[in-house]
Structures are given as C-alpha cells and as structure tokens.
Homo-oligomer: A and B are copies of this chain.
Amino acid sequence: MPIAPGSVGIVEKKYFTFANPPDEMKLESGGKLGPVTLAYETYGQLNDRGDNAILLTHALSGDSHAAGYYSEKDRKPGWWDFMVGSGRPFDTDKYFIVCSNVIGGCKGSTGPTSTNPKTGKPYNLDFPVVTINDMVRAQKYLIDHLRIKRLQSVIGGSMGGMQVLEWAIQYPEFVASAIPIATTSRLNAQGIAFDEVGRQAIYADANWKNGDYTLNGNIPAQGLSVARMLAHITYLSEESMHEKFGRRLQQKEKLGYDFSTDFEVESYLRYQGESFIKRFDANTYLYITKAIDYYDLPRDYGSLENAFKNAKSKFLVISFSSDWLFPTVQAKEIVRALKVDGKHVSFCEIDSPYGHDAFLIRNDGMEKMIADFLSHVYDD
C-alpha cells in the first residue's frame, strides 16, 4: 500500500462505552439498551473552541473506518478516503473528522453480535430493533464525550443521509450544516420490497436458525450473499452495468450450456456476495435494513415541512442522475420542504453514470461542491 499524499495515514479504531445500567439508553421502540459501545475513528485535531468538527455518517454496510489504513499491510483505505485528509474536502488541516459505526452494527459498535450482559451470549434476535433516530442519539453521546461543542457539518450518503436529516432535526442548534447525499426522507415501496427480499434470503438459509447461529459456527453465508448480490444490483445503474459488463462472457469463448458462470456480471455479483459474507453479519443486515425501512419523516412529524420546521442548519442536498434506488425526485421532496420552511438550502443533482453508489466514487464536481460549501459555512 503506497500511502498517497494527503492521506490521514495509519489510523486506529477506538471505542466509547456509555449508557451503563441503570442509565440505559431509551430506544424509539420503547425498549432500553445498555451498556452501549460505539466504535469510532477521528482524523485531524479538535480546536480549542470545539467547533471545527465534522461527523461522517455511514451507509448500510459501512463502518467507522472512513479514511486511512489500519496497518501498512492493508490493501484498501477507509470507505471515503478520497474525501478525508490534508487538502481534501474534509480537510484534516482544518477540521476534526469523526466517524462511528452505528448502533446495531457489526464493526465494533453494540449490535446483534455483541454479548448480551444478561445472558453472557450474543444478543442475536434478542437485540432490540433500533432506528435511525436511535443511531443518531447514540452518536450524540460520543460527540459530547469528545467535547465537541458544535458540528460544522454532518455528512453522509444513503442511510448516512437519513442520519444527516435526523441530526439536523434533533439537534438544530448543534449542527451548522447538513449534507444529505443520495438519500430520502422515507423509502418507497420498491425500496422496502428489495430490503424484504434480502431479509427473506437470510431467513431462508438453513444456517440462520431464527438468528441463533454463532459467528464462529455455521453462519447463514449463502442467504447473506444472495441479499448482498440483490442489493448490489440496486446500487448500480443499468447504464454502468452495461458499460462495465454488457453481455461479455466470463473467461470463455462460448456459452457453457450449464449452470456455471457464463457472463462477467454473474461472476462480479458472486464475488460481491462472497466478499461481503467475510465482513458482515447476517442478523445485523436484518436490523440495519429494518432501520432504513422504518425511517419516515412525514409519518413521524405529520409532514416533511413539519419535520424540518425547527431545523437551523444550512443544507446542501445532493443526488445523482442515475440513482434509481434513491432517485432525484426524493431529494427534491426534501429540498421543497426545506424551501417551504424558508431554510437555507442548496441542491445539486450530479450527473453521474454510477447509480446509487456514486457517492463512494471520486467525482470532481461532488468534491469541489462539498469543499466549497463547507468553507463557506466555516467562514461564516
């Protein structure tokens, strides 16, 4: 791994535990959870006023590792590495960047794979259903612990964007700016449907056993793999799949006339499924997709306008032209409601062929727009 100029270099995952009994965290469901640990990373330095912090919020399969490398042997950096570092949009010379694994996650934060203190065994399906609101309130514990007094910005794509909106609504005084990317104020029926089929694929795996598998035993790998393959199709555009694979055959001259891999796109999806099961947990997949499905600001507040009524952040809403999972029309609903409320809002649909996952891919327009927006907010 040659570390590129501007990289944050070698980073470390840290842990913060709170909500120890009897002061458990109250969940939106009415349940309680504690103790709660969040895994997190920070890049850059917090200033004395504690007001130069930026919170990055991750998507379904993301984690706290937004930037840098854990060791010199790592082949890949964090999931938003190109955005974080010296001279990069989230400039570590200027900002203190925080990213934490969501509550309910499987990358160090308390979730279904964590040990239930009441039983000494993994929670599995005894873990309570958590929501985007719960994720955000858990993050607030961490932000306070880090002595951050104000967030210059909260930024994230997809499920991360839902957290961004929730931050702006729950903590209006605390969030100077909010950048929801490739997101929605509520998933449409088609999105719920895709998530449900992914969950059904996990339920269908004989190793799932109603969630009672152990991570070092027979995990529901095939079910999780199918769920991931399906989801992955929705993250790409038809155009990018056509460009990337078309109908090209996979290392063969002719059709196989059997059920081995014929087309490159099949091989690619199988690889996506196989690599995902090494890094993600099936029960966690159930919980996180449920949190996404439940998110519904118009339901929670009567209307989207009402949801944003007390928000004080400056908003930059970004969508991608080829994103059919969280399409531009849904971003525009957010923008329209913010405008009705008289909020400070900028909007851009970025022309990109890469579908929903475009926010994870380098894009000069996106990078410059975010850097400029952040520096205007910060200079104000």
Task: List chain A positions with a Cβ less than 8 A from chain B.
Answer: 29-31, 125, 128-129, 186-190, 192-194, 196-197, 199-201, 203-206, 222-223, 225-226, 229-230, 233, 236, 238, 241-242, 244-247, 255, 257-259, 262-263, 265-266, 269-270, 273, 286, 290, 293-294, 296, 299, 324
Contacts and interface: CB of A to CB of B under 8 A. Distances in A.
7 contacts: A29-B257, A188-B246, A193-B241, A197-B230, A201-B226, A204-B223, A263-B293
Contacts of A129: 257-258
Nearest to A195: B266
Q: How many copies does the complex hold?
A: 2
B201 A245 contact: no
8 nearest CB pairs, A to B: A204-B222, A29-B257, A189-B241, A206-B206, A129-B257, A196-B266, A189-B245, A189-B265
A299 to B, nearest CB: 7
Given A189-B246, A204-B201, A299-B247, A196 B265 contact: yes
- Among A190, A222, A244, residue most surrounded by chain B Cβ atoms (within 10 Å): A190
Contacts of A128: 257
B204 A242 contact: no
A363 to B, nearest CB: 22
A259 B290 contact: yes
A129 to B, nearest CB: 4
Given A187-B247, A196-B229, A197-B269, 17 more contacts: A29-B255, A29-B257, A31-B257, A128-B257, A188-B242, A188-B246, A190-B238, A192-B263, A192-B266, A196-B265, A197-B226, A197-B230, A200-B222, A200-B270, A201-B201, A203-B222, A262-B294
Contacts of A233: 190, 193-194, 197
Contact of A204 (B30, B205, B293): B205
Contact of A189 (B187, B223, B242, B294): B242
B247 A192 contact: yes
Contacts of A270: 196, 200
Contact of A225 (B204, B222, B242): B204
Nearest to A210: B259
A243 B187 CA distance: 14
Contacts of A125: 259
Contact of A244 (B31, B189, B201, B286): B189
B258 A192 contact: no
Contacts of A223: 204
Contacts of A204: 201, 204-205, 222-223, 225-226
